[in-house]
Chains A and B, each alone.
Chain A
Amino acid sequence: MDLRDYTALEAGKMVRERQIGCEELTRHALRAIAETEPALNACVTVLEEEALASARAVQARLDAGETLSPLAGVPMVIKDNICTAGIPTTCGSKMLETFRPPYNATVYARLLAAGAVLVAKTNLDEFAMGGSNETSHFGPVHNPWDTTRVPGGSSGGSAASVAAGQAFYALGSDTGGSIRQPCAFCGVSGVKPTYGAVSRYGLIAYASSLDQIGTIGRDIRDCAAALRLIEGRDERDSTSVARPPEPEAPAGVRGLKIGIPANYFGKGIDPAVAAPVQAAARTFEEMGAALVDIELPLAEYAIPAYYVVACAEASSNLSRYDGVKYGFAGAGAESLEELYLRTRSEGFGIEVKRRIMLGAFVLSAGYFDAYYKKAMQARELIQRDFDRVFTRCDVILSPNAPTTAYKIGENISDPLKMYLGDVYTVSVNLAGLPGVTVPCGFADGLPVGLQLIGRAFDEATLFRAAAAFQSETDFHRQRPNRPGEEARA
């Protein structure tokens, strides 16, 4: 069985209707992992025995007549910066290579209650800092469409895993595009929810005012169904928000106003990537949506503002890694200061060190106003820009990344070039808005994704538009060949 023949919701239905057992389904996922991992390196930890035990437990609950969730018994994977009790949670770092969290992240506790079957923890850029998955201590992830290329990042392991059919859906996290960009590079769908929609309790912090957990699937309806299981108020995260149940929205996009920011399609984007996104806009129009020209003139300030804010928060958040409480400790230190220095110098990789130092710089006396304060002001102006635009349209359609997946090693020595690849995604995090990505075509055989940005807490409209697009197109049903598999007709 190729998991990719079914959506997560279809697999859940088959489980409920006893067409397939949870254990059998899980064995298919584990087999797919065993077959594809040598080429992909998408997983840090594969949970063979634990997954089979949890599949049997879910089956027993179902057989006892429990009603769990639409995704009960469906194998899934979780990015390795989300805490899973007793299961290694490495953050892709030497610093946390041996860390086994004593508690579950709220999202995982909720998934367990809903009958999810976790089959693997997925690879990521170290501490979720990166856009290519090349900064992981456990080696790069390879893109299933072309294993010489990156899967994107930082949730590259999650996106590659779903694209290769190792699991039906995944959790990722998105601080500046870390769900949306790897989804675009790997040809799968994903959602970065509104800030506050999902509890961050148990998500290992990178930049706390930007981080948000979201879901990845091959079909946007799977992403929506998985989000429903994890979202909502959690008393352990004071920024999480309770929402009333969404009203039944009409299907389709008739009458929906879609804003098109012209400046997102100009300088800096590969024309082969812009073309399918523009074609998608026409598809929406043919389906009855109205296209509205809009301006988001502050786009050029989004990247510098984002990196100032993210690095500042990272330098503070990562000060907790001291070699005392958990994780790696440098050997042979005879003073506390020396223990800190050895632990952090040996335990962190180069990109993490770079961002900690950038953060220390922008927060330091003499530079604070020119960098950090200025970035906070830019952030407010960027949020106002979106508020203004959303008086004229319901969603914004934009590219996701300026290029398709690039070659492993191509950009890693030029950090600034890497940062510039986040141009279309970071402003969404700065403003706290929801964004989804769905596949919308190919350029030279590599997937291209579009991004839809919505009003705060209006994921429903994004899902409605993305689902309508996927009813009309079949880009999301295209799949890369498994290593060794013949090309599909």
Chain B
Amino acid sequence: MTIDDALIQYLEELSKLRLAPEEQAAAKEDLGKILGYMQTLSALNTEGVEGLSHPLANENVFREDAARPSAARAAILDNAPRQKDGCFVVPKTVE
């Protein structure tokens, strides 16, 4: 399968990634080979097969809707790259 620059750019956009030029070149080659190999699936007759998104025949599991303490705010924020006044800090998003 041929992967062109436009597709690589589209995938970078979807993935929120920005590849260096040498990474883009490698991605073109590698993704082409891998996706080409994945196309072997097209030879499989799957007519009438619904498909499995999950290995178990799961049923919905419910529990009591009871209030209980969640994790401590400080413990969660301790891992944040930037925090201020008990909140996560992000770059300005609204002008």
Distance of A345 Cα from B27 Cα, bound (Å) = 14
Does A326 contact B80, Cβ atoms closer than 8 Å? yes
- Chain B: CB-nearest residue to A376: B51
Does A339 contact B90, Cβ atoms closer than 8 Å? yes
Query: Any chain B CB within 8 A of the CB of A325?
Result: yes
The B contact surface, by secondary structure, is loop
Query: Any chain B CB within 8 A of the CB of A408?
Result: no
Partner of A353, one of B17, B39, B52, B79: B17
Smallest CB–CB gap between A318 and chain B, Å? Answer: 9
Given that A307-B34, A345-B17 are contacting pairs, would A357 and B11 also be in contact in the complex, using a CB cutoff of 8 Å?
Answer: yes
**B54-90 near A? 1/0 per residue, CB < 8 Å:** 1110100101000000011001101111100000101
Given that A209-B53, A307-B34, A308-B38 are contacting pairs, would A357 and B15 also be in contact in the complex, using a CB cutoff of 8 Å?
Answer: yes
Distance of A209 Cα from B19 Cα, bound (Å) = 29
Query: Any chain B CB within 8 A of the CB of A487?
Result: no
CB-CB under 8 A from B50, the residues of chain A are 377, 380
Smallest CB–CB gap between A106 and chain B, Å? Answer: 15
Does B80 contact A364, Cβ atoms closer than 8 Å? no
Query: Any chain B CB within 8 A of the CB of A238?
Result: yes
Partner of A324, one of B26, B55, B81: B81
Does B15 contact A374, Cβ atoms closer than 8 Å? no
Distance of A107 Cα from B50 Cα, bound (Å) = 34
CB-CB under 8 A from B25, the residues of chain A are none
Does B61 contact A238, Cβ atoms closer than 8 Å? yes
Q: How many residues of A contact B (CB 8 A)?
A: 72
Given that A329-B82, A358-B35 are contacting pairs, would A376 and B91 also be in contact in the complex, using a CB cutoff of 8 Å?
Answer: no
Does B16 contact A378, Cβ atoms closer than 8 Å? no
Query: Any chain B CB within 8 A of the CB of A113?
Result: no
Smallest CB–CB gap between B88 and chain A, Å? Answer: 5
Given that A357-B15, A380-B52 are contacting pairs, would A235 and B38 also be in contact in the complex, using a CB cutoff of 8 Å?
Answer: no
Query: Any chain B CB within 8 A of the CB of A252?
Result: no
CB-CB under 8 A from A209, the residues of chain B are 53-55
Given that A300-B40, A380-B52 are contacting pairs, would A360 and B11 also be in contact in the complex, using a CB cutoff of 8 Å?
Answer: yes
Does A350 contact B23, Cβ atoms closer than 8 Å? yes
**B6-23 near A? 1/0 per residue, CB < 8 Å:** 010011101111110001
Does B79 contact A99, Cβ atoms closer than 8 Å? yes
Smallest CB–CB gap between B43 and chain A, Å? Answer: 8
Given that A238-B61, A334-B91 are contacting pairs, would A325 and B79 also be in contact in the complex, using a CB cutoff of 8 Å?
Answer: yes
- Chain B: CB-nearest residue to A350: B23
Does B79 contact A100, Cβ atoms closer than 8 Å? yes
CB-CB under 8 A from A419, the residues of chain B are 34, 37
- Chain B: CB-nearest residue to A377: B46
Given that A305-B41, A334-B91, A374-B41 are contacting pairs, would A235 and B63 also be in contact in the complex, using a CB cutoff of 8 Å?
Answer: yes
- Chain B: CB-nearest residue to A301: B44
Smallest CB–CB gap between B51 and chain A, Å? Answer: 3
Chain A CB within 10 A, most for which of B10, B18, B27: B18
7 further interface pairs, Cβ-Cβ under 8 Å (given A100-B78, A323-B81, A381-B49): A304-B39, A354-B34, A357-B14, A357-B31, A374-B46, A416-B33, A431-B55
